[in-house]
Amino acid sequence: MPAFQVIHRDEGLTELVLNLIADPRTLDQPRTIVFALEATPVKPLPPDFRRTLTGLGNTHTFTGGPGSYSHLVPAYKGSQRHPTGWDGAWTPDGNMVNSPFPADWDLNRFFNLELAKTGKLYLPYQTLNYTHLTRQLDPRTQGLEGPELWHIIGPEIECKGNGGWCMTPVHMQYRLYRYRDWIRHSSLRGFYFDNAYPILCADRGHGCGYALDDGRIQPTFTLFNMREFYKRLRTLIVAEGIEPCIMTHSTDTFMPAAYAFVDVMMDGETYRYRVPKETAPALAPPAPGATVADADVTAAAATDTDGLAAELIAAEAAATPEAREPATDPAPWRRYWSEYWPPEHFQVFGPPQHWGIMAVTMAYQKHGEEAPADQVARNGSAFLAYLLLHDTEYYLGASRGARLSQAGFDLAEEMRFLPYWEPETRRALHAPAPDVLVGGYQQGDLLLIVAFNRSRLPVRQLPVTVELGALGWGEAGARAGVVEFPKDMKDRGEALAAARRQVLAGGEGGTGGPAAGGGLAVTLDIEPHTFATATILCVPAERK
C-alpha cells in the first residue's frame, strides 16, 4: 500500500489519504507521528515558454560532445574537446566529469553568447547527486579542486548506505559559490541537472535519518534540501538580472515541493517497463490465430514491475475479436508507446500550468536497435502525438513548437491550452468516439484541434464538433472555417490574411460559415494510436 494516496472522489472533492501504519499491528503504547504539508505556490509561466523550449537540444544543452556547435569557436573546429570544457565531456583526467566551473572562462562566455544569437539555450550539463571532480585548467578558477578537494569535503557530502552526494550545507555552499562566478562571467540562464531526484541518506551527521525503537536508523530523503538548493540557485540568477532557466532530468520523481524553483522538468529516457535486449525473456512463438494482446500478457507480466502493461493488455484481450490485431512480434517494447503510459500519467505531469514548471519528455531512445524501422516510426508518431495532446515538449526535437508554428500560432505570445479531460474543453470540442481524446490550443482567432486515437482500430470520417460559442467565438456575424498554412510559411501576417480571405470566401457551403451561437463540424481520419489535427480560424464581424 502506498504511503500517500490522492483520491479524486468527484468534481468537488479530492481526498489526501496518509497510510501511516503499513502492516497490521497492535500499539501497546501511545505513538506520536509528526508530518507536515508544505504549500507550494505555482509560479507564473512566461508567455513565451513554449518558444523557450524550442531552444533546448542535446548538442548544446546536454553533454556537449565533440562537434556540437564547435564551429562557433574556430579554434575548436574538428577538435575532440568541446569549447565549453567538460560539462559532460571527457577530460585528460580520464573521466566524464561535470565540475561546477568551466575549463576556459573566456571561451565559455563566447560560446554562450554566440549560441544565444541562434535562439538556442546553453545550459551546462551537471549531475545533482554525484559527479567526478577534476582539477581546474584555467588559473582564474581559484581554490582547491579535484581529488584534493574531495579528500576534505567528501566525508561531509557522501550519503551513507546509498552512495551519491547528499545535499548538505557544505555541498550546497560549494556548488552555489562556483555557480555564482560562472553565472556572472558567462551570463548563464541556468544549468541542466541530470540524475536529479531526492536520494536516501542515513547519515545522522548530515541531519538525515532518524532512530527507530530498535536502534536501527531509518534513512530519509533529501527533498527539502533540494528545494533549498534550487531556490538559492534561482536567486543567484535573478540577482544578476537574468531570466532563469533551470532544468532537471527527474524521471518518476515529480514532487512539486522539491522542484518549485525549477523551470523545466524532464521525464523519460529509461522507463520501468523497458527491457534491455540482453535480458529480454525468451518467448515461445505465438499459437496460430493468437493476437498481440494474448501473446504479450506473458511478456508484460514478466518484465513490467508495476503490472501496468499487463493490466492494459489484459483489458484489450477482453475486447471484441474485430479489435484485435494478429500477433507478429510479442516483444513488449514493440507495442504502442501510449499503451504503456495511461492518459492519467500525463494529465498530472504534462500541463505546465499545474506546477509553473515547463514539461519535457525524452523518448525511450535506446530501443532503436531492437525494433524494425516501421515499428520505431509507429511508436515515434504515437509518442509525439501523446506529448502534443498534453502540452508537453519533446526534448530532442521541439515537435510541439513546430506543430504550433505550422498551425499559424506565434510561440512568442500567450496561448490557451485546452485539456481534453476538462469539462470546459469537452463542452467546446467533442466527438462520438470514446477512444478518441480531443483537445487543443487556442490563440486569438486560431484553434488547433488535436485528436488522438487510443485504440488499435483506424477511425474514419470522425465528426469533431467545435462549439464556437464555448470558445468565445459566438458573436453575431463572425465566420469560422478550417484552414491550412503553407509549409514554407515565410510571413505569418500574410499567411493569416490569406487564411481569412479563404474563410470569408467559403460561403454557406464551404469551410466558412456563420459562427454565432452555432457549431462547426470537422471530419478526421485517424490511424491507430496516433493523431490528426485541424486548424480553425474565426473571422470576427469587424474584420470582414
pLDDT tens by residue, 113-145: 888 888 888 888 888 887 777 777 778 888 888
pLDDT for residue 274 is more than 50: no
H-run or E-run covering 451: strand 446-453
Nearest one of 326, 337, 300 to 315, comparing CA atoms: 300
pLDDT at 17: 84
Q: Sort strands 125-127 and 192-194 into parallel, antiparallel or unpaired.
A: parallel
Question: What count of Cα atoms within 13 Å lies in the side-chain half-sphere of residue 152?
Answer: 10
Q: Please, which pLDDT band fits residue 18 given cuts at 50, 70 and 90?
A: confident
Indicate the burial class of 493 (C-beta count within 10 angstroms; 0-12, 13-18, 19 or more).
exposed
pLDDT at 5: 75
pLDDT at 325: 39
φ and ψ at residue 428, rounded to 5 degrees: -90, -35
Residue 531 makes CB contacts below 8 A (sequence gap 6+) with: 381, 385, 388, 389, 450, 451, 452, 453
Nearest one of 150, 89, 168 to 125, comparing CA atoms: 89
pLDDT at 75: 53
Q: What is the mean pLDDT of the chain?
A: 76
Among the four given CATH numbers 3.40.1710, 2.60.120, 1.10.10, 2.60.40, the one describing domain 416-543:
2.60.40
d(CA 281, CA 89): 35
Specify the residue for cell string 508544505: 38
pLDDT at 298: 29
pLDDT at 507: 45
H-run or E-run covering 148: helix 146-157
The pLDDT tens digits for 144-157 are 888 888 889 888 88
pTM of the model: 0.80
d(CA 378, CA 138): 48
pLDDT at 225: 92
The pLDDT tens digits for 520-533 are 889 999 988 889 99
- For the chain, give every domain's residue range: 44-268, 281-330, 416-543
